[in-house]
Structure 1
Amino acid sequence: MMENKTYKREVAIALLVVMFLLFAAGFYDEYFKEIGELLVSPVFLFSGASFGLDSFSKQMRK
């Protein structure tokens, strides 16, 4: 049976990559570092929730 794909994990990984790139660009311009610091909490909360919900749903299927 085919289930609908939600792309939660893929979006979380993409957000983490963007965070890394912002902090890497922060070495050249302080503006990017400040934007990265602003987005730390929402990105990590979303990533943790998406990976946590994914593992929870996989455990409940068994």
Structure 2
Amino acid sequence: MSFEAKYPDRCAECGDRIEPGEQVAYSDDELVHVACETEPQREDDPDEACGMCWLVHSGECF
């Protein structure tokens, strides 16, 4: 459930400031921007995908 922030704070997801009036929500007891909560966070960089198999892995594709 989202609500309007009344006080400045820091987003636990992206680290940016939360300003009064922005839409925020609690995620695991921490305050986050609503946009941060709904956007899936990718752990990998798409530029790191293997050109042969299109997987992201730590070694070369054989």
Provide the TM-score with structure 2 as the length reference: 0.28
Greater strand fraction, Structure 1 or Structure 2: 2
TM-score normalised by L of structure 1: 0.28
